[in-house]
């Protein structure tokens, strides 16, 4: 081993780093750049990470979308090997169809009423779940279950609950004296009750989704604003309608946008509960497209009905996003 004195002598002889760098005209030593293993040195890495999403959009969204537009202007049918371009004939046929007109009316009623109920209920739940209390985590989990559970499983359960013979709701109403045992209500067999039942089940499924969105919006409101309002004498209702809801307008627009799209394009609840009946009282545009295109073997007519959904959804998205943008600017 070298003695400690030799090490101290060498350290004194070595020039300081700062003095060697501060001399005029002398360049600083170049440090070697550390090469990263990221996308900058591997151009294929970014493409490899982006390709699954691009393939998903291309194969499951873009291809069916353009295929539906192509079928809508043809006479495509299941089992037919010939295909001819017929222009707007399919659209003229479905527009004058009573089933299509009834489906448009039902779709509008279904969407508007369901969204009104969802907004009211989700606002109430978001207010109730905003402040901490014992069991809040469990209650949030239970409220989220209808959205997490498979739609087919939950709807089949509701079909048993609303059954004309074994309905639990009917038994309770008969026991309480609000319904006649010999003439019970047919929840899925009467026109008005069938639409109300479909709306009820769809709201049950969609309320958790809207609750999560509104709850996130409420937690993002600065606490100083409601506190200042309460100091100035604002009560609960005034704080909610004049402070919280205007601040949450962009969040509400997002909830209404996604809820309207989910409701207007929903087919699972209608198909499982009523299959569009009775007498087309619950027939919606997605259900009509499936009935004519798949069950009726007329792919062209079904595609034409599906294409009619596009401008409606575009208009809804435009106005909702414009409303959200105005609220953010203000």
Helices (H), the chain: 4-13, 17-21, 43-57, 63-72, 89-95, 98-128, 136-148, 151-161, 168-176, 191-219, 224-231, 236-239, 245-247, 249-264, 268-273, 285-290, 299-329
Q: Which two tokens stand for residue 125?
A: 């739940």
Residue 102 main-chain phi, psi, to 5 deg: -65, -40
The per-residue pLDDT for range 83-128, each reduced to its tens digit, is 889 889 999 999 999 999 999 999 999 999 999 999 999 999 999 9
Residue 85 main-chain phi, psi, to 5 deg: -85, 125
Domains of the chain listed by start with CATH number: 97-329 (1.10.3720.10)
- 108 or 184, greater pLDDT: 108
**Residues contacting residue 102 through CB under 8 Å, at least 6 positions apart:** 280, 283
Q: Mean pLDDT across the chain, nearest whole number?
A: 83
pLDDT tier, 270 (very low <50, low <70, confident <90, very high otherwise):
very high
The per-residue pLDDT for range 191-230, each reduced to its tens digit, is 889 999 999 999 999 999 999 999 988 888 888 888 888 8
The per-residue pLDDT for range 131-179, each reduced to its tens digit, is 888 888 888 888 888 888 888 889 999 999 998 888 889 899 889 888 8
Give pLDDT, residue 327. 62
| Residue 25 confidence (pLDDT) above 60 | no
Give pLDDT, residue 165. 83
The pTM of this model reads 0.79
| Residue 73 confidence (pLDDT) above 80 | yes
| Residue 23 confidence (pLDDT) above 60 | no
d(CA 104, CA 57): 28
d(CA 127, CA 120): 11
- For the chain, give the number of residues: 330
* Average pLDDT over every residue of 73-89: 88
HSE-up of residue 245 (Cα within 13 Å, Cβ side): 12
Give pLDDT, residue 17. 47
CB distance 147 to 209 below 8 Å:
yes
| Residue 10 confidence (pLDDT) above 60 | no
pLDDT tier, 19 (very low <50, low <70, confident <90, very high otherwise):
very low
Chain centre distance of CA 42: 36
Closest CA to 327 of 221, 258, 259, 246: 246
């Amino acid at each position: 081993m070298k003695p400690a004195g030799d090490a101290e002598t060498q350290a004194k002889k070595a020039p300081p780093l700062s003095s060697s760098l501060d001399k005029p005209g002398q360049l600083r030593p170049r440090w070697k750049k550390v090469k990263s293993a990221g996308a900058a040195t591997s151009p294929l890495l970014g493409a490899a990470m982006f390709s699954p999403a691009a393939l998903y959009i291309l194969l499951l969204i873009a291809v069916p979308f353009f295929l539906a537009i192509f079928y809508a202007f043809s006479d495509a049918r299941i089992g037919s090997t010939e295909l001819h371009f017929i222009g707007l004939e399919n659209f003229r046929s479905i527009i004058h169809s009573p089933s299509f007109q009834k489906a448009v009316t039902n779709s509008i009623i279904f969407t508007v009423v369901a969204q009104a109920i969802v907004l009211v209920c989700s606002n109430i739940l978001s207010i109730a779940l905003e402040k901490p209390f014992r069991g809040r985590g469990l209650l949030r989990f239970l409220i989220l279950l209808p959205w997490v559970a498979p739609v087919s499983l939950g709807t089949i359960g509701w079909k048993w609950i609303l059954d004309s013979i074994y309905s639990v709701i009917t038994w309770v109403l008969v026991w309480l004296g609000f319904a006649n045992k010999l003439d019970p209500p047919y929840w899925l067999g009467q026109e008005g009750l069938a639409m109300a039942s479909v709306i009820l089940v769809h709201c049950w499924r969609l309320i958790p989704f809207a609750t999560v969105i509104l709850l996130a919006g409420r937690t993002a409101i600065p606490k100083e604003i409601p506190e200042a309002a309460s100091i100035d004498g604002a009560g609960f209702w005034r704080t909610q309608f004049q402070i919280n809801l205007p601040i949450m307008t962009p969040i509400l627009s997002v909830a209404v946008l996604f809820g309207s799209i989910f409701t207007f394009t929903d087919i699972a609840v209608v198909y499982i509960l009523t299959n569009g009946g009775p007498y087309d009282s619950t027939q919606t545009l997605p259900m009509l497209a499936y009935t004519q295109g798949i069950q009726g073997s007329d792919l062209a007519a079904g595609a034409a009905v599906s294409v009619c959904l596009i401008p409606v959804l575009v208009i809804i998205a435009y106005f909702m996003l414009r409303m959200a943008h105005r609220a953010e600017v203000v």
